[in-house]
Structure 1
Amino acid sequence: MTDTVTSTPTPAPTPPPTKSRPGGSRLAGVLRLREFPVALALIVLVLVTYAANPLFLSPQGTKDLLLNATIMIILGVGQALVIITRNVDLSVGSILGLVAFGTGSLFANVPGIPIIAVFAIGLAFGAILGAINGLLVTLARVPALVITLGTLYIYRGLNNAWAGGTQYFADDRPDAFGALSVDTILGFPLITLLAVLVVVVVAIVMAGTRSGRDLYAIGSDPDAAKLFGIPVGRRVFIAFAVNGVLAGLAGVLYASRFNSVGATTGTGLELDVVAAAVVGGVAIFGGSGSVVGAAIGALLLTTITSALTALRVDKFWQQAIVGVLILAAIIIDRVASIRTARRLRLSEARDV
């Protein structure tokens, strides 16, 4: 009698779990960044313009491109701080004009004044003007759009009364001060490197400190921010004051960059600054965006002007394209917000 041996079938080996590729997830994360479409548009614009006019990226052309964007980058960073808190500052052009004329006045009337002292006075002057905006917004509880529209005209009127028909020219300032926008390091103008330093420092503060993160919480939901113990009024005041400091810095650099400053310096600049921040991905409704995106938006807008000039496109189309970009940025942001809210509702429904 033979024994029959029954063999149990060997289970098929289970395939190892598939691991998501880190490179793919990183790439997806980059593509989802709010700044990515703006940076891509900037690169495409530069390449197309260079193909049509190779002089566009000549050493002098690149230097001019960076210099043209420097003032706007600094102003855009300050404006981003305010917009993130669900506010806006329309007076930055007037602040810049006052500080720029004050800078020219210091050099003309105080011979031998150190350049570092001029910078300190300009920053302090800008901080005071920005703090006035912050106090009015936080204490009066009136929309910042209304408050800063009023201070726009007040500051501009002060500049007109102070300057009158007086203008200060490049000959009235020290050569070392004018050299800030002429001298370069590795091809980058000194004032542009200063603007990059501003972007890096403010970006680190916004991402790595509680006060920076509080600004996003305030912009997302001011009432909820109060419930969590965030000092909303103080944070908004600081955002306006810092914006004033940066506008003061931009005013001093404006006096170094351009040949003359007077009563009309900075007129109309405020709308370009708001446009730069919005195009750079800073949500006009507050709560999202970054100062890096605002800086890229500022560079994109100034590059559009330079590129279309190099391509001999009429100035009307330059303004029209900027308007289209603003509308596109707002619509894209709104659509993204709706999709995010819908995904949250769906995930909550699945959890229930």
Structure 2
Amino acid sequence: MRTLLKYREVWLLAAIAAMVAVISLRFPGFARPGNLAAVFNDTAILMILALGQMAVILTRSIDLSMASNLALTGMVVAMANAAYPEIPVPLLIVFAMAIGLALGALNGLLVWKLGIPAIVVTLGTLTIYRGATFVVSGGAWVNADQMSPAFISLQRGAFLGLPVLSWIALAVIALFYLLMTRTPLGRSIYAIGVNPTASVYAGIDVGRTKFVVFCISGLLAGLSGYLWISRYVIASVEVANGYELNIIAACVIGGVSIAGGIGSVGGAVLGALFLGIISTALPVINISPFWQMAISGGAIILAVVLNARSERKIGRIILREAAA
């Protein structure tokens, strides 16, 4: 039992269960399986994005451009669908992922080949991609009546009682878990976050690995671009504006260390779910949006404090073992 309680995910899962229980006191129907499944579905896009951000953060980098990547990709595929509705939706999804991958690769190349800090690169591309969205669209919106029914309905269908969007999120979570725990790339990502210098001596190409994680984050942002636009049936310059903060917050709350090397797929998913419950449930029980922001901010600060304490404790253990 004590071993189980050492895991951050267990405490976060307990906090989510406690929050659901408290909310259910005011709104008894909230804890029904159907409603919880709807909350999961509403949070699915954030989960996908948080996983991409987690991979970047684990390498001691950060990607501030994911939401802008999402907006630009979503606008391009929405305009393509409006102009050529006969294009199959799966092909548009592949197109969206290819655009997102290209934008992520640009970030990765600048970090890898030019040695520019990731926060500087992605802060610049955040603005560039958002501006490109305006240029591509001419400031116009793509509305629901301009989108084909197939474009809108694909991820709204259901399978075994769950929406297709939820199944897409579950598939991404499963693939990401295998990537991070069962592949050399996943081990390299963690190794770079723990000690980049030692990783070089171990034969890991740090620059190339960082390039790959930015490609992964861009790919997932591209996929999320289609999912976001088809879900909310509107494409504009303001889509997901400021959403990069939610993505980073989900990672931090889930126990992903900003210093790199520490974090898990389960933690990032639970962090996103925590934020999803806050944004979905608190308005239902008539809590002010300002209190929602305060609760989210407080959770982030608490998570950072817990992460810092955990990292110091791990450091002391390593030192004691080395001395022994």
TM-score (norm 2): 0.96
Contact 2:144 2:234 in 1 (8 A): yes
Give the equivalent residue in structure 2 for 1:165: 139
State the distance in 1 between where 2:151 and 2:22 align.
36
Larger deviation, residues 231-240 vs 47-56: 47-56
CA distance in 1, matches of 2:319, 2:180: 29
**Residue matched to 1:10:** none
Counterpart-to-counterpart distance in 1, 2:154 and 2:23: 28
Match for 1:342 among 302, 312, 316? 316
Aligned equivalents of 2:281, 2:85: Cα separation in 1: 40
Aligned to 1:271: 245
Deviation at 1:161, TM superposition (A): 1.3
Summarize the alignment of residues 219-258 of structure 1 with structure 2, pairs less than 5 Å apart: 219-258=193-232
1:324 pairs with 2:315: no
* Residue 286 (str. 1) matches residue 266 (str. 2): no
SS where residue 103 of structure 2 aligns?
helix
Contact 2:62 2:119 in 1 (8 A): yes
What amino acid maps onto 1:51 in structure 2?
A: L
Matched, 1:307 2:281: yes
Alpha-carbon spacing, 1:155–1:228, altered in 2? closer, same or farther (3 Å) = same
Aligned equivalents of 2:138, 2:240: Cα separation in 1: 15
1:137 positional shift: 0.9
Task: Tell me the distance in 2 between the aligned counterparts of 1:85 and 1:182.
Answer: 35
Alpha-carbon distance in 2 for matches of 1:45, 1:129: 38
**Helix, strand or coil at the partner of 2:283:** helix
**1:170 and 1:55, CA in 2 relative to 1: closer, same or farther beyond 3 A?**
farther
* Whole-angstrom CA distance in 1 between matches of 2:133 and 2:31: 37
Q: Matches of 1:102 and 1:61 in 2, distance apart?
A: 33
Corresponding letter in the other structure for 1:216: Y
Instruction: Work out the CA distance in 2 between the residues paired with 1:178 and 1:202.
Output: 26
Give the Cα separation in 2 of the matches to 1:275 and 1:41.
Answer: 16
The 5 Å alignment of 1:24-39 reads 27-39=1-13
Matched, 1:53 2:7: no
Please state how far the C-alpha of 1:332 moved relative to its aligned partner: 0.7
Instruction: Identify if the C-alpha distance between structure 1 residues 59 and 178 changes in structure 2 by more than 3 Å, giving closer, same or farther.
Output: farther
Deviation of the 1:135 alpha carbon = 0.6
Contact 2:253 2:300 in 1 (8 A): yes
CA distance in 2, matches of 1:87, 1:201: 22
Q: CA shift at 1:63, angstroms? A: 4.7
From 188, 191, 200, the equivalent of 1:217 is: 191
CA contact (8 A) 1:123 1:246 kept: yes
Q: Does the 8 Å CA contact 1:67/1:181 hold for their aligned counterparts?
A: no
1:172, CA displacement in angstroms?
2.3
Q: Bigger shift: 55-64 or 261-270? A: 55-64
Give the paired residue count: 324
CA-CA distance at 1:104 after TM superposition: 0.9
The one-letter amino acid paired with 1:334 is A
State the shift of 1:242 in Å.
0.7
In structure 2, relative to structure 1, the CA distance for the partners of 1:347 and 1:59 (3 Å cut) is closer
The superposition leaves residues 82-103 of structure 1 with CA deviations (integer Å, 9 ceiling, x where unpaired) of 0000100000010000111112
Q: How does 1:127-206 map to 2 (within 5 A)?
A: 127-206=101-180
Q: Deviations over 1:218-277 (max 9, x none)?
A: 011111111111011111000000110000000011111102111111210111100001
Larger Rg computed on CA atoms:
1
Q: Deviations over 1:139-194 (max 9, x none)?
A: 22121111100100000010111123321122222323322343222332111110
Aligned position for 1:71: 45
The answer to whether the 8 A contact 2:76-2:136 is kept is no
Alpha-carbon distance in 2 for matches of 1:255, 1:324:
30
Residues 173 and 30 of structure 1, relative CA distance in 2, 3 Å threshold: farther
TM-score (norm 1): 0.88
Distance, in Å, in 2 between the alignment partners of 1:96 and 1:339 is 38
Query: Counterpart of 1:238 in structure 2: which amino acid?
Result: V
Aligned partner of residue 256 in structure 2, secondary structure: coil
One-letter amino acid of the structure 1 residue matched with residue 43 of structure 2: A
Deviates more, 1:179-188 or 1:314-323: 179-188
Partner residue of 1:62? 36
Structure 1 window deviating more from structure 2 (50-59 vs 67-76): it is 50-59
2:33 and 2:13 mapped to 1: Cα distance?
Answer: 21
How far does residue 348 in structure 1 lie from its aligned partner after superposition? 3.2
In the alignment, what sits opposite 2:82? 108
Letter in 1 for 2:7: L
Contact 2:68 2:126 in 1 (8 A): yes
Using the aligned pairs only, state the percent identity.
Answer: 38
Hey, what's the Cα distance between the residues in 2 that align with 1:218 and 1:300? 28
Contact 2:85 2:148 in 1 (8 A): no
